[in-house]
Amino acid sequence: MKIRICDLGKHVGETVTLKGWLFNKRKSGKVQFLMFRDGSGLLQCIVFKGNVSEEVFEEAKALTQESSFEVTGLVKEEPRAFGGFELDVTNVKTISKAEEFPITPKEHGVEFLIDQRHLWLRSKKQWALMRVRHRIVKAVRDFFDERDFTLMDSPIITPNACEGTSTLFETPYFDLGSAYLTQSGQLYAEASAMAHGKVYTFGPTFRAEKSKTRRHLTEFWMVEPEMAFYDLNDDMDLAEEFLEYIVQSVLKDKKQELEILERDISKLEKVKRPFPRISYDQAVEILKENGVDFKWGDDFGAEDETIISSRYDAPVLVHRYPSEIKAFYMKRDPENPKVALAVDVLAPEGYGEIIGGSQREDDLELLLGRIKEHDLPQEFFEWYLDLRRYGSVPHSGFGLGIERTVAWISGIKHIRETIPFPRMIYRNTP
Partner RNA sequence: UCCACGGUAGCUCAAUGGUAGAGCAUUCGGCUGUUAACCGAAGGGUUGUAAGUUCGAGUCUUACCCGUGGAGCCA
**Interacting residues with RNA between 1 and 60 (CB under 7 A):** 24, 26-31, 33, 35, 44, 46, 48-50
Return the amino acid letter for 309. Answer: S
Closer by beta carbon to RNA, 91 or else 392: 91
Site for RNA in 228-267 (CB under 7 A): none
Q: How far is the CB of 347 from RNA (least distance, A)?
A: 9
Contact string (CB under 7 A) for RNA, positions 169-198, x = contact: ---------------x--------------
Closer by beta carbon to RNA, 13 or else 50: 50
- Beta-carbon contacts of residue 282 (< 8 Å; ≥ 6 apart): none
Q: Is 415 in the site for RNA (CB under 7 A)?
A: yes
Q: How far is the CB of 391 from RNA (least distance, A)?
A: 27
Closer by beta carbon to RNA, 76 or else 196: 76
Which of 41, 315, 356, 411 binds RNA (CB under 7 A)? It is 356
Contacts of range 101-109, beta carbons closer than 8 Å, 24 or more positions apart: 101/64, 101/65, 101/66, 104/65, 105/24
In terms of Cα–Cα distance, which of 22, 83, 20, 87 is closest to 51? 87
Q: Is 322 in the site for RNA (CB under 7 A)?
A: no
Which of 119, 325, 364, 376 binds RNA (CB under 7 A)? It is 325
In terms of Cα–Cα distance, which of 360, 375, 372 is closest to 329? 360
Q: How far is the CB of 174 from RNA (least distance, A)?
A: 29
Q: How far is the CB of 48 from RNA (least distance, A)?
A: 5
Q: Which stretch binds RNA (CB under 7 A): 10-18, 251-259, 365-373, 395-403?
A: 395-403
Q: Is 207 in the site for RNA (CB under 7 A)?
A: yes
Q: Is 414 in the site for RNA (CB under 7 A)?
A: yes
Site for RNA in 110-129 (CB under 7 A): 110-112, 114
Which of 404, 409, 410, 412 binds RNA (CB under 7 A)? It is 404
Q: Is 328 in the site for RNA (CB under 7 A)?
A: no
Which of 80, 176, 291, 390 binds RNA (CB under 7 A)? It is 80
Closer by beta carbon to RNA, 223 or else 227: 223
Using CB under 7 A as the binding criterion, the count of chain residues that bind RNA stands at: 73
CB atoms within 10 A of CB 388: 20
Q: Which stretch binds RNA (CB under 7 A): 263-271, 287-295, 351-359, 375-383?
A: 351-359
Closer by beta carbon to RNA, 24 or else 392: 24
Q: Is 284 in the site for RNA (CB under 7 A)?
A: no
